[in-house]
C-alpha cells in the first residue's frame, strides 16, 4: 500500500494479563508517535471490556508501518506481551474523501 492509511489494532488480554498489556501498550505510544511516517497513534481501552484495547494509527504508507514493526520499541513490546495476548488483529482502512 503506497498511500496513507489508517490501521486499527485490536488486542485482547488473556485473563489476569490486562495490567501488563495496558502498561506495555502505553509505553509504545510516544516512541511510535515520533516515528517518521506516523501521522497519529492513539491507544484506547474498551469501556465495557477493559481487557480489550484498540490502537488507532495513521501511516503515510505501508513502508512506514513495516518500519514501525521492526523498531526496537515494538519488538520489545512483542517480547514482553507474547504470553499476555489472547487475540491480536490489525485492519487497514482507506479513507474515502
Question: pLDDT per position in the chain (97 positions), as tens?
Answer: 689 999 999 999 999 999 999 999 999 999 999 999 999 999 999 999 999 999 999 999 999 999 999 999 999 999 999 999 999 999 999 999 8
The reported pLDDT for the residue numbered 44 is 98
Buried b (16+ CB within 10 A) or exposed e, 46-74: eeeeebbbebebbbbebebbebbeeeeeb
The reported pLDDT for the residue numbered 1 is 61
The reported pLDDT for the residue numbered 2 is 84
- Identify the CA nearest to 43 among candidates 70, 62, 21: 21
Structural domain count, the chain: 1
Q: Which CATH number characterizes residue 27's domain?
A: 3.30.70.100
Domain that holds residue 39: 5-93
Amino acid at each position: 500500500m503506497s498511500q496513507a492509511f489508517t490501521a486499527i489494532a485490536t488486542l485482547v488480554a488473556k485473563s489476569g494479563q490486562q495490567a501488563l498489556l495496558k502498561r506495555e501498550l502505553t509505553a509504545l505510544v510516544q516512541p511510535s508517535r515520533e516515528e517518521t511516517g506516523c501521522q497519529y497513534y492513539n491507544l484506547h481501552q474498551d469501556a465495557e471490556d477493559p481487557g480489550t484495547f484498540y490502537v488507532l494509527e495513521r501511516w503515510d504508507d505501508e513502508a512506514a508501518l513495516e518500519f514501525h514493526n521492526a523498531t526496537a520499541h515494538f519488538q520489545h513490546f512483542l517480547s514482553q506481551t507474547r504470553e499476555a495476548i489472547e487475540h491480536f488483529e490489525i485492519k487497514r482502512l482507506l479513507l474515502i474523501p
